[in-house]
Amino acid sequence: MAVKIRLARRGRKKLSLYDVVVADGRSPRDGKFIEKIGTYNPLTNPATIILDDNKAFNWLMNGAQPTDTVKAMLSYRGVMLRRHLQIGVIKGALTQEQADAKVAEWLAAKANKIQAKKDSLSKSKQDAAAARKAAETKVKEARAEAIRKKAEVAAAAPVAEAQTEGEATTAPEAEA
């Protein structure tokens, strides 16, 4: 029996969510599975991956084969690195303490990288909001200026009409 670690889709149309499951390779995508080990939401930025790393690691060490997408997720979470280092420990290339230290160092660096991405996304979102607000303010000021000019023209028009009427009444008197 070939055991796979793969995604099982749930959620509605265009709002997909996935369960990360361990299943027999012959069972259908959304069908029977052995164990659910996490969830994956690709709609957030960065994608939300909630995974029980220890269960995934145990299944990998027992021979379960991840699909390409799940393998990328496991690499992102450091499970594949941990498996690689554990195989090195089994072969005697390094000690368990060295492997644990390498995994902890990698996880700390990865957490910093993820946090930096979240910060840059929130900063760009704030910058875009500030730019939109500045553009709206500029448009508002332009409209206020146009209204002010229109009011000045409207106020000057009755005065100009009075002057032209005054000239019109004096012109016939000059002819006479």
Residue 57 in contact with residue 83, Cβ under 8 Å? yes
Per-residue pLDDT tens digits for 102-153: 999 999 999 999 899 889 988 998 999 999 999 999 999 999 998 988 888 8
Per-residue pLDDT tens digits for 144-175: 998 988 888 888 877 667 676 666 555 555 55
The residue extents of the domains of the chain are 3-94
Give the architecture (CATH level 2) of 3-94.
Answer: 2-Layer Sandwich (3.30)
Looking at every residue in the chain, the average pLDDT score rounds to: 88
Scanning the structure block, which residue is given the tokens 């498996």?
83
Distances 176 to 165, 171, 172, 173 between C-alpha atoms, Å = 18, 9, 6, 5
DSSP E strands, the chain: 3-12, 15-24, 35-41, 48-51, 65-66
Q: How many residues does the chain have?
A: 176
pTM for this structure?
Answer: 0.69
DSSP β-bridge partners for residue 117: none
**With pLDDT > 70 as the criterion, what percentage of the chain qualifies?**
90
Other beta carbons less than 10 A from residue 85's beta carbon: 21
